[in-house]
A and B are shown apart, each in its own frame.
Chain A
């Protein structure tokens, strides 16, 4: 057995086992270095796995040598590889770009604990993405959630604590609902393995516990994915978290919950429960639509750039949920592509915000007035990522919006209204982003000082690297499309 076969296990074990070593360090800088190294290595593993998926496929990995359903298996398909790229990429971006900002937020003595928690959060999210076992997903969900609460609570603002407490309570309810659902399914099928569950569910179809389980799992995961109106924990958590943490979690953590939702609903329920697809659509599509429109509208009235982007995230999760809720091939393609492209855009935007706050020490848009003239490089990158968020041709965001429009046009009778809603919310995105861009370029700084104050070159280079990625994947979207096609194949495998 060579190293390549172990990739799925290493993807989780590497960050997970580096974490205890990091917390034993006494120096904040060393801890950061170790965390960054582990995160970059995880990114490397994710790239190798992606190559494997696009090549011959990644074989199932039986942990402990015990074959499923008796043991726990790891399965990586296109969608899983996409999630791994997002999670490890976002973590690396947040750590690499957040050094200066984190050094200010977290004192040296407590830094090893913080970076240990960061790596555990990374390992937890990777663990969910590779797992082929419903209970194992719950375990890693617990790991990633607990670690994420710590990361958010590290914010300098005292309000971070109340925000994280709310997130903790709601996140725990979500996880408990998921666990109740998995428990009912285990009770009726005797198995926890996803593939085995899909096979055995047919025998107990339409029994009460299974129907209730489907409901609990869907609502629990919708809570964790912050699907409107279950998003109430998200804006404050994103706003008061340390900026580098927001880069990490805003880019990937809610998407991992959507990923589990997709795996459960398509991989397990759709093939077995009669009418589940319709019920799922009826439940999710109206919520997604209201999220897209209302959250975009609320974003316009925010005075804090982080909160504005957080409400924008709620709207963007709405797009993903809308696409996923259509229960069609085109819809699933659009959902996966939008997960990828939104992560790119939002990661870049929050990284730019990290740079703004680093120099001007505030995320309040009035205090950031004139920042575009003072930090032209960073602001330029912000505009590019903003264009991608809106979905302007030539950026990554356009690709997924295009797929989304194609997908909703297929819906009989509802095509045009849905397209109108998507265009309307894109226009709202123009409005809320323009509000900041206008202030940044044409506003007068509060103290009247317009001298240049850019962040150091390495950070600027990283920000531009992220911004150019938004353009690159807009012009050459083959990679995410290939992964999404592979992912759609596995998800709909249960339906065909």
Chain B
């Protein structure tokens, strides 16, 4: 009952925030509200016991995406262009989509119904077989990185493609834009004492937490995606406080490019090695004599690949935006 009430409360807040984002003409508040939207979304996921998804939403949606949008905001006017009202067609499309989805929802199984088709078909198999075949407690990680590891490989390439797109269009990755940044000039919030002290206290723990999420993903919620996003949040905080230039001297753009490409390659090469060792593409069981050990090795390596690519790409995107004045 309490969960239900909290759920209704959070979902109402979600709707209010969404309306506020659409109505807001000030882009800065729209970005901030979208960060709040993601946080509320993360809480909803958490309420539904989807801790992994909640963690990703909080780190990527509320954290990194907000910072990237703020960086993008530097390049645009602060308010929405006047006189461009919402098109009638889009209102009709949105209304129709919403009504259809509400209509469909009347036929759906009740939330949490153990007899629902999703609980009856593949899910019990995953729950039953994961301890035996993969040998890790976090079944979500088992599904994402092994049973459906091919999808995750695809998602890593989606992230890499996004990075390639931003680097291609904004001309980042290497070359001129970054050389303009001078670390001697007082940048960011370095003149402000409170953010500086707070950041100095927080950054080591954020980075450490990211590493924990990275390497503890088999046992608790988390994995490469979340770890990468949290790690990036730490570095971005550093560059906000100490300036772009210093952050870049810690991790230069060329290294970021190697991280982005290398992570994706690492993931893919685990798949190819599986083939060479007599298994299928992305079959980790053949990586060691004991199939379960092979799964462990495979999952740790591919999660590292995911973490590298996510970190490399998100930081490249941040720098590409931040380097444009």
Contact = CB atoms under 8 A, between A and B. Distances in A.
A277 interface: no
A177 B125 CA distance: 29
B169 A188 contact: no
Contact of B168 (A10, A154, A204): A154
A6 interface: yes
Interface residues of B, number: 67
A444 interface: no
Contacts of B171: 109-110
Interface in B102-150: 103-109, 116-123, 125-126, 129, 146-150
Contact of B164 (A13, A140, A150): A150
B301 to A, nearest CB: 14
B165 A149 contact: yes
A154 B168 CA distance: 8
Interface stretch (B38-46, B234-242, B269-277): B269-277
A190 interface: yes
Interface stretch (B190-198, B210-218, B259-267): B259-267
Given A63-B281, A150-B164, A209-B104, A23 B261 contact: yes
A208 B106 contact: yes
Contacts of A180: 101
Contact of A212 (B100, B167, B174): B100
Given A1-B278, A9-B281, A150-B169, A190 B123 contact: yes
A140 B154 contact: yes
Q: How large is the interface on A (under 10, 10 to 19, 20 to 34, 35 or more residues)?
A: 35 or more
Contact of A117 (B148, B161, B258, B271): B161
Given A70-B147, A188-B108, A208-B108, 5 more contacts: A64-B147, A64-B282, A65-B280, A142-B158, A188-B109
15 contacts: A13-B271, A16-B153, A17-B265, A17-B269, A19-B157, A24-B257, A63-B282, A64-B146, A109-B175, A120-B160, A136-B154, A146-B165, A150-B165, A187-B109, A187-B117
A339 interface: no
B52 interface: no
A120 B268 CA distance: 13
B151 interface: yes
A23 B257 contact: yes
A70 B126 contact: yes
Contacts of A65: 279-280, 283, 285-286
A127 B97 CA distance: 29
A212 B104 contact: yes
A147 interface: yes
Secondary structure dominating the interface of A? helix
Contacts of B157: 16, 19, 120, 123, 143
Contact of A9 (B103, B155, B280): B280
A418 interface: no
A200 B121 contact: yes
B162 interface: yes
A256 to B, nearest CB: 15
A149 B164 CA distance: 11
What are the nearest 5 A-B pairs in CB distance? A190-B121, A208-B107, A20-B261, A139-B154, A9-B281
Interface string A170-195: 00010001001000101111110000
In this complex, the member of A61, A71, A153, A154 whose beta carbon has the largest number of chain B beta carbons within 10 angstroms is: A71
A442 interface: no
A6 B277 CA distance: 13
B107 A116 contact: no
A4 interface: no
A157 to B, nearest CB: 14
B243 interface: no
Given A24-B258, A64-B283, A72-B150, A150 B265 contact: no
